[in-house]
Structure 1
Amino acid sequence: MFIMVAFSFLAACTKDVGSIESSKLKIIAAHNQTSPDTPYQTGMLKFKEVIEEKSNGSMEVEVHAGTIGTEEAELVEKLQLGAADVVLVSPGFMTQTGIREVDLFSVPYLFRSYEHWLQVVDGDVGKEMAQIINDKSNNSFKLLGYWTAGVRHFYGKKPLESMDDLQGMSLRTQTSGVIGDFWEATGAIPSSISWGELYQGLQQGVVDSSENAYPFFVQQSHHTTENGKFITETAHDYTTRFLLINGEKFAMYSKEQQDIIMKAAKASVTAEREATNRQDREYKEKAMSEGALVNEINREPLINLAKPIQDAFAEEIGAQEMLQDIRDLENK
């Protein structure tokens, strides 16, 4: 009797192990944009496509477009808690994890062109930042790639002819950290109204202005509101977004699974960047065709205002050498 029971128990265990080994690896991937037409969704769907194709269906990616969090802070928390496996976040929201160096990438006018940004993130500086993220998070976060969110510009109730026009103007932007410091220095009043409430806020005059890239604010029709129809191409931020995976989970995957994830991440980087650059052009044209007015501004006063803020922040976080490396790349 004992032998029969033991045999049955071993058989059951063998069956359980087999079912675990043969089950699909499911990856929850999320970003905060609710529109299905954003470059974020394009990138995530490419990530899903490559993983599922190369794994022959043994790995599955479930993409969430704003459905498990429309605020990046929520996504970072879910990544930490294991409720999401892959998320897309901006440098500013990563600082809540205690990794302050990442916020250097969000300093206004750090990058002077898209080509300059590429040299930084795809070069040695980008590798250094990836290592910092991994080390300072104790492997909780692993960087899979650098996405972009386009070039951020000002849009509001009036055009900016000079920096003086920002005096006393409420501006939806990040209110804390180096971004908030910059806009306060211009004379603007940073406001923390949420992205999901911003259309109504602009329409009802709760906030005078905002700043973002064409693919994002035009898709949300911000340019059709009274306080959003004047676009000034300040180009104050060639934006960086971090595609992160839970590092502890990643370490538990097989070598084959890890390789597939990294290949999918690389493909997603290409797809997302191409979609963003294309939409930057398309949505600018759309905004203008729908009545938005676009003007340029002499950026030098803004750039000069940003430099001492960059210096002070780099010194505060011990990133002076990295800041200099970034500046040096501008001239190459």
Structure 2
Amino acid sequence: MKKFFSKTAVAVLALSTILAGCGGGQQETSGNGEQSGEAVDSLKIIAAHNQTSPDNPYQTGLLKFQEVAESESEGAIEVEVHAGTLGTEESELVERLKLGGADVVLVSPGFMTSAGIDEVDLFALPYLFESYEHWESVVDGEVGEELANIINEKSNNDFKVLGYWTAGVRHYYGKKPLESIDDLKGMTIRTQTSGVVADYWQQVGAIPTSVAWGELYQALQQNVVDSAENAYPYYIQQNHHRTPNGKYTTETGHDYTTRLLLISGDKFDSLTEDQKEIILAAADASVQAEREALYEQENEYKELALEEGAEINEIDRAPFIEIAAPLNEKAAQNMGIEELLQKINDLK
């Protein structure tokens, strides 16, 4: 499970940041940590994610990015990490990245489609991945590289991919357990309300409903929505399992999630070679740290949920997968990326 991004793979993805460079007088460190004697220009990086919990894997990843960038540059590069303080919605973070209010941000595929890059929805297709091993072989390999190139080209170099993080395996949780797929009929579920994800939930009989992440606890508590879907570390940290409409988790395992660590291609291209090397090293380390933290927390927070009264059950996923397969094929055809979908399936 622990097949992480190599520095070579990250470098191939050609990464970047909306960073402000000015003069500096620090000693440069090379990729192996040895001082080269050359000065690294000063740089301040604003790095942000949308989660407010300090124990979140996103925070672990960005703190590792900060640690490596500052250490490798001997302090010439300063990284300021924001946990939900620049926005709890990913659309806000994307907008800040475009306008220069943030330099490194983390977003999900769905919010990238709003920027006109529909192909990113490939990684959001339901039941696309069957395990973490499968997911890593895809994002760390040829498919991940090709999608990163698409993002860069279609954004006109506004966005480049620093690396692929995960937000865990998403499951259903709601006011009642799912014993069969029919139990979803007529149930409102907090999820994406457009695109492939929304189409899928509609096909299984649920009603996709939009609720901001920061408002979801109250929505579940006050019966605004019947259910939601997410991975253990995220909704357990937010105490959703303590609400009447979040008590029951059914392990649907419908999404081995992908998150994209982005920076500005134009600004990255303007950096010195020394700055670029350090940013790439920090990105590589952040990918490893975030994944490790997430993998550990999935089991940890599942056990915590059970201890605090949540009820968890498994379900036959075959009917769900049967509905997803043709939807995925149609979506890939509409996006013109049938070959990428086939490559993913071939890696199973």
Q: Which of residues 64, 75, 89 in structure 1 aligns to 2:82?
A: 64
1:126 and 2:144 matched: yes
Kindly indicate whether residue 201 of structure 2 is the aligned counterpart of residue 199 of structure 1.
Answer: no
- 1:99 is the counterpart of 2:101: no
Distance 1:240 1:121 in 2: 8
Q: AA paired with 1:299?
A: R
- Give the match for residue 173 of structure 1: 191
CA distance in 1, matches of 2:160, 2:193: 27
Residue 75 of structure 1: which of 70, 76, 93 is its match? 93
SS where residue 51 of structure 2 aligns? Answer: coil
Partner of 1:245: 263
Residues in 2 aligned to 1:185 and 1:77: alpha-carbon distance in whole angstroms = 32
- Equivalent residue, structure 1, for 2:293: 275
Q: Which amino acid is 2:309 matched to? A: G
Q: Which has the larger radius of gyration?
A: 1
Distance 2:89 2:324 in 1: 27
TM-score, normalising length from structure 2?
Answer: 0.89
**SS of corresponding position for 1:218:** helix
Once residues 322 and 131 of structure 2 are traced to their aligned partners in structure 1, the CA distance between those partners, rounded to angstroms, is 16
Q: Could you say what secondary structure the match of 2:114 adopts? A: helix
Would you say 1:187 and 2:205 are equivalent positions?
yes
Residue 317 in structure 1 maps to residue 317 in structure 2: no
User: Comparing both structures, which one devotes a greater share of its residues to helix?
Assistant: 1
Query: For residues 42-68 of structure 1, what are the alpha-carbon distances to aligned partners after superposition, in whole Å with 9 as ceiling and x for unaligned?
Result: 000000000000000000001111111
Q: What TM-score, normalized to structure 1?
A: 0.93
| Matching residue of 1:6 | none
The alignment partner of 1:97 has SS state of coil
How far is the alpha carbon of 1:139 from its aligned partner? Answer: 1.1
Q: What amino acid maps onto 1:41 in structure 2? A: Q
- 2:306 equivalent to 1:304: no
TM-aligned CA deviation for residue 137 of structure 1: 1.0
Deviation at 1:82, TM superposition (A): 1.2
Quote the residue 1:40 is aligned against.
Answer: 58
Residue of structure 1 equivalent to 2:23: 21
Supply the AA of the counterpart residue of 1:127.
E
Runs of 4+ in structure 1 displaced over 4 angstroms? none
Matched, 1:289 2:307: yes
Amino acid at match of 2:186: G
- For the aligned residue pairs, the C-alpha RMSD in angstroms reads 0.9
Distance in 2 between the 1:192 and 1:231 partners? 20
Residues 2-46 of structure 1, C-alpha deviations (whole Å, 9 max, x = no match)? xxxxxxxxxxxxxxxxx9422731001000001111000000000
CA–CA separation in structure 2 for the residues paired with 1:204 and 1:77: 31
1:58-97 CA distance string (max 9 Å, x none) = 0000111111111000111111111111000000000011
Structure 2 letter corresponding to 1:204 = Q
Distance change (3 Å), C-alpha of 1:168 and 1:21: same
How many residue pairs were aligned?
A: 312
Question: Following the alignment from structure 1 to structure 2, what is the Cα–Cα distance between the partners of residues 83 and 227?
Answer: 36
1:24 maps to a residue whose letter is S
The 5 A counterparts of 1:220-239 are 220-239=238-257
1:21 partner letter:
G
The superposition leaves residues 289-317 of structure 1 with CA deviations (integer Å, 9 ceiling, x where unpaired) of 00000000000000010011101100111
Distance 1:123 1:83 in 2: 31
Indicate the residue corresponding to 2:229 in structure 1.
Answer: 211
- Contact 2:66-2:81 within 8 A present in 1 as well: yes
Note the alpha carbon deviations across 1:92-126, whole angstroms, 9 max, x for none: 00001111100110011011111110110011111
Q: What is the distance in 1 between the residues matched to 2:22 and 2:258?
A: 38
Counterpart secondary structure, 1:266? helix
Structure 2: distance between partners of 1:226 and 1:58: 50
- Alpha-carbon separation, structure 1, partners of 2:159 and 2:239: 34
**Unaligned runs of at least 5 residues, structure 2:** 1-20, 25-40
| 1:43-54 matched pairs, under 5 angstroms | 43-54=61-72
| Secondary structure class of the residue paired with 2:237 | coil
Name the aligned partner's letter for residue 49 of structure 2. Answer: H
Distance in 1 between the 2:70 and 2:151 partners?
27
Equivalent of 1:117 in 135, 143, 161: 135
For residues 249 and 209 of structure 1, what CA distance do their matches in structure 2 show? 41
